[in-house]
Structure 1
Amino acid sequence: MRVFVTGATGFVGSHAVAALLDAGHTPRLLVRDPAKAARVLAALGVDTGSVELATGDMLDGNAVAAALDGCRAAIHAAASVGVTGGGGDLVEINVTGTRNVVGGAVARGLDPVVHVSTIAVFVPPRDPVITADGPLASPRNAYGRSKVAAERYVRGLQDEGAPVTIVYPGGVVGPHQPVLDSLMEGLVAALRLVWPLPRGGVSVIDVRDLAEALARCVVPGQGARRWVLGGHHLTWRRYADLCEELTGAKVRRLPVPGAALLAAGVLLDAAKRVRSFDYPLTRDAAEFMIRLTPTDDRPALDALGMKLRPVEETLADSLRWLGEAGHLDAERVPFTRST
């Protein structure tokens, strides 16, 4: 099946391309820079000769429309993640892009149309466990607001009977992230500098598991579906413990009350407006750190016939790749290979 894909030069999208090829599909990739796409995919062992490249931007409705022609399904994996401070105009990217891609795919009768959302649309959650039926949050940060706005648009298409599958991943980690952001960026900063230990925790999903799930969603005739795939939920202390166990290197820990972490995020946001520097803690990121709860992934895993790999394997492979890519010093790289 020819599958239209956005975000193929990004973390989730590039791995989704590899998973689609493994499943026997023909991906057609909308990319702004074909040379960059070739470099990113080559790192995963994907030759661009095995995919179709369409040059264009998802914010360009005409380019999206032309690239959608001839496709039977679509995966919209492109998004700007602005939790850690970057991301540009999040509403323009995450809402307009979704309208062009998901709306355009639905208008052309593609089935299914897979929209990669985020568990952020449920944060701060109202219940102790996040489910696909949970209420949407009313976030204060720009990233959360943009994703909730895109979510409401896509759910509106589902309500009209469109065969759209929404997938809600947690924090995505794993090897071969083209540009460090979000959880991978935070992991490097915590290991290099200091590991904050507030209340709350983090949901960790391997990018390869998420990519496989997206490929398995490409089955026509299933109608509208919503799948939560937050992954393994870890307290921040357990997350640090695992990194120490895998590397044998001590993590510099800093117990911090949630209110203090939020205040630190506000101060760092102000400081970065005066002088740019790299540290991923922001007011928005701090809110996620202290308010995220576990997710109920069982409905999605059962429906897709999947089992997540152990979190130890995911973290070991992530840390090892971070070392190979020069993001971490040798002492932070696992001394035993994962299985």
Structure 2
Amino acid sequence: MATVLVTGASGFVGRHVVPALIDAGHRVRAMTRHPEDYEGPGEAVFGDVHDPDSLGPALDGADIALYLVHSLGSEDFERLDAEAAEAFGRTAAQAGVSQIVYLGGLGSDDEELSPHLRSRREVERILGMAGVPVTVLRAAVVIGDGGISWEITRQLVHNLPAMVVPEWTSTRSQPVALDDVVRYLVGVTGREEAIGRVFEIGGADVLTYREMLQQAAEEMRGHGVPIVPVPVLTPRLSSHWIGLVTDVDVPTAKTLIDSMSTEVVQTDTSIRELVPGEPLSYRQAVRLALAQRL
């Protein structure tokens, strides 16, 4: 099997992907800015995508790299992510990496994408500029314990007996369970048929954000909550509201909310031909996320 470098190995998705890759028989190098504190499986190696000099040693000897990092917490995330992707793709090519696997974002190229989704598309392109083939998995909201989008939902439902929500909560999305994301990431790693391709991934349900809040409330409380949509909550106002009610910082909240006005629904299911299996429903994903907190 291959030697796989996983960036963001201690992050939301990375910490679940690393053991799954090892179970699949790969040798895993877990890239982190703090290898001395890393407690997961695999070989911990130092690396920071914003420090190009650190990438050569981290990528040395790797056959495949999983790129699972972003700069959403910064207001300058588009520039930072573009610079990081350029340095990583260039260094990966120099190291002889044969495949980069990237977790990007859903959204039609025919629509005007939000800065967040536009940045995800740009990272897809930049990662491959130096010649390493990139396999892209485009996802909507990933539901799992520790995920920022799920935490916004969970904390809103937990903290508020009723909600006044903006109009963007009527936008449709196709949330996907963390377990399915991990399954797809492992399934395309090292697969010749996946080299250089873009796949869309999604869960079993297409829901509005309002429906997601209601179903989460039903799973957490046993009943729904009153939700009243109003037209006056702009993304900026919404992000400050979320900053008050949850522990998600305002810049990250605003970046994510800007994207929620864009419909993110899977239109291509070819990933299921390569990685068979039915995806979980939203309710199943919520139950797993809640169980992971116990």
Same topology, TM > 0.5 = yes
Distance apart, 1:220 and its partner CA: 4.8
Instruction: Kindly provide the amino acid, as one letter, of the partner of residue 168 in structure 1.
Output: R
Q: 2:259 & 2:270 partners in 1: Cα distance?
A: 24
Which one of the candidate residues 310, 315, 322 is aligned to 2:286? 315
Q: 2:152: which partner in 1?
A: 185
Q: Show CA shifts across 1:252-297 (max 9, x none).
A: 332214x433x2x32355789xxx7454585544443343242125
Query: 1:114–1:165: 8 Å Cα contact kept in structure 2?
Result: yes
Of 207, 216, 229, 2:187 maps to 216
Check whether the contact 2:49–2:84 (CA below 8 A) recurs between aligned residues.
yes
Q: CA RMSD in A?
A: 2.8
Amino acid at match of 2:119: S
Per-residue deviation, 1:31: 0.7
Partner of 1:100 in structure 2? 87
Identity of aligned residues (%): 21
Separation (CA, whole Å) in 1 of partners of 2:3 and 2:111: 33
Instruction: Report if the CA contact (8 A) 1:202-1:233 is conserved.
Output: yes
Given the alignment of the two structures, is residue 71 of structure 1 paired with residue 53 of structure 2, yes or no? Answer: no
Matched, 1:14 2:15: yes
Distance in structure 1 (CA, Å) of the matches to 2:189 and 2:208: 33
Contact map agreement 1:30 1:64 (CA 8 A) in 2: no
Q: Corresponding residue for 1:260?
A: 232
Any conservation in 2 of the 1:191–1:251 contact (CA below 8 Å)?
no
Q: Within 5 Å, which residues of 2 pair with 1:243-322?
A: 243-257=216-230, 259-261=231-233, 263=234, 265-267=235-237, 277=244, 279=246, 283-322=254-293
Q: CA deviation at 1:101?
A: 2.2
Write the mapping of 1:1-339 to structure 2, written as runs, cut at 5 A.
1-38=2-39, 41=40, 48=41, 51-80=42-71, 82=72, 86-87=73-74, 89-119=76-106, 122=107, 125=108, 134-135=109-110, 137-139=112-114, 141=115, 143-154=116-127, 156=129, 162-175=132-145, 177=146, 181-193=148-160, 194-195=162-163, 196=165, 198-222=169-193, 223-231=195-203, 232-257=205-230, 259-261=231-233, 263=234, 265-267=235-237, 277=244, 279=246, 283-322=254-293, 324=294
The answer as to whether partners of 2:180 and 2:280 remain within 8 angstroms in 1 is yes
The one-letter amino acid of 1:64's match is L
Partner of 2:93, secondary structure, is helix
How many Å apart are 1:93 and its aligned residue? 3.7
User: What secondary structure sits across from 2:101 in the alignment?
Assistant: strand
Q: 1:291 is paired with a residue of what secondary structure?
A: coil
Tell me how far apart the structure 2 counterparts of residues 138 and 171 of structure 1 sit (CA, whole Å).
16
Q: Distance in 2 between matches of 1:225 and 1:199?
A: 31
Structure 1 residue 118, shift from structure 2 partner:
1.5
Structure 2: distance between partners of 1:118 and 1:21: 26
> Structure 1 pair 12/109, CA: closer, same or farther in 2 (3 Å)?
same
Distance 2:113 2:259 in 1: 13
Distance 1:290 1:57, change over 3 A: closer
Tell me how far apart the structure 2 counterparts of residues 89 and 291 of structure 1 sit (CA, whole Å): 21
User: What stretches of structure 1 of length at least 5 have no aligned partner?
Assistant: 42-47, 126-133, 325-339
TM-superposed deviation, 1:237? 4.1
Contact 2:139-2:176 within 8 A present in 1 as well: yes
Residue 181 of structure 1 aligns with an amino acid whose one-letter code is I
Is this contact kept in 1: 2:104–2:120, CA < 8 A? yes
Q: Does the 8 Å CA contact 2:136/2:199 hold for their aligned counterparts?
A: yes
SS in 2 for 1:298: coil
Name the counterpart of 1:130: none
User: Hey, what's the Cα distance between the residues in 2 that align with 1:252 and 1:156?
Assistant: 48
Per the TM alignment, residue 305 of structure 1 is displaced from its structure 2 partner at its CA by 2.2
Q: Is the 8 A contact 2:172 2:206 kept in 1?
A: yes
Q: Distance in 2 between matches of 1:293 and 1:92?
A: 23
Change beyond 3 A, Cα 1:226–1:243 = same
Q: Secondary structure at the match of 1:227?
A: strand
Q: Deviations over 1:148-187 (max 9, x none)?
A: 3323323645xx6x42101112111123x2xx52232333
Query: In 2 relative to 1, CA 156–72 (structure 1 residues): closer, same or farther, beyond 3 Å?
Result: closer
Say whether the 8 Å CA contact 1:106–1:113 is kept in structure 2.
Answer: no
Whether contact under 8 Å (2:187, 2:274) holds in the other structure is no
Matched residue SS, 2:232:
helix
TM-score (norm: length of structure 1): 0.73
CA–CA distance in structure 2, aligned partners of residues 36 and 136 of structure 1: 42
Residue 306 of structure 1 deviates from its aligned partner by 3.2
2: distance between equivalents of 1:105 and 1:221?
18
2:17·2:182 contact (CA, 8 Å) conserved in 1? Answer: yes
